[in-house]
Amino acid sequence: MRKPLLAIATTIAGLGLVAATALPALAVDTTVTFAITSAGLTISAPSTANLGSVASGATSISGEIGPVTVTDDRATLNGSWSASAISTDFTTGAGTGPETIGNINVTYSPGAATATTGQGTFTPGPGGIINVPRVAFTGTALTGDNSATWNPTITVTIPAAAVGGTYSGTVTHSVG
């Protein structure tokens, strides 16, 4: 009599194991989504810069104007951007002919990047006279968010006919 009892107990235990590993009769899938929102492409630069002073008769003055930063929060795949710089004329007093140094006398040298973030290639532009927009820096083969910072040098060639005074002009950076 013991053998039939053992057989019944073994059968019941086996059925319990099958029931524990069997798939449910019904299954439902849930598709889960999320979004990564992107911001924009911005550029920042100091609002003022002072190149100092030179004595009458000097042929040029130059200096760094402070950090310029492109911040790319577009979360791109194989993205790119190009930053440019252009200058106005530099004037003093009433801005008459002798009180104006034309932007044809203003050169821009971006120098190497002082900082970068993200994945991509960051390349300084060739520099040159900024009486027209010139490439200051580029970002290429960009993945995700990124940034680049550089500290450009501005050189103003002073014409012999320039008069004494404090000259001011505007260097405009843009990115696209």
pLDDT tens track of the chain, all 176 residues?
555 555 555 555 555 555 556 666 899 999 998 888 888 999 999 999 999 999 999 999 999 999 999 999 999 999 999 999 999 999 999 999 999 999 999 999 999 999 999 999 999 999 999 999 999 999 999 999 999 999 999 999 999 999 999 999 999 999 99
SS (H, E, C) 60-113: EEEEECCCEEEEEEEEEEEEEEEEEEEECCEECCCCCHHHEECHHHEEEECCCE
Helix (H) or strand (E) holding 144: strand 134-150
Q: Quick check: helix, strand or coil at residue 5?
A: helix
The whole-model pTM stands at: 0.82
Residue 43 is predicted with a pLDDT of 97
Residue 170 is predicted with a pLDDT of 97
Residue 156 is predicted with a pLDDT of 98
User: What are the structural domains, with CATH classification, of the chain?
Assistant: 38-175 (2.60.40)
Residue 16 is predicted with a pLDDT of 54
Q: Quick check: helix, strand or coil at residue 17?
A: helix
Residue 53 CA neighbour count, 13 Å, CB half:
5
Number of residues in the chain: 176
Q: Quick check: helix, strand or coil at residue 11?
A: helix
Neighbours of 146 (CB within 10 A): 22
Residue 99 is predicted with a pLDDT of 97
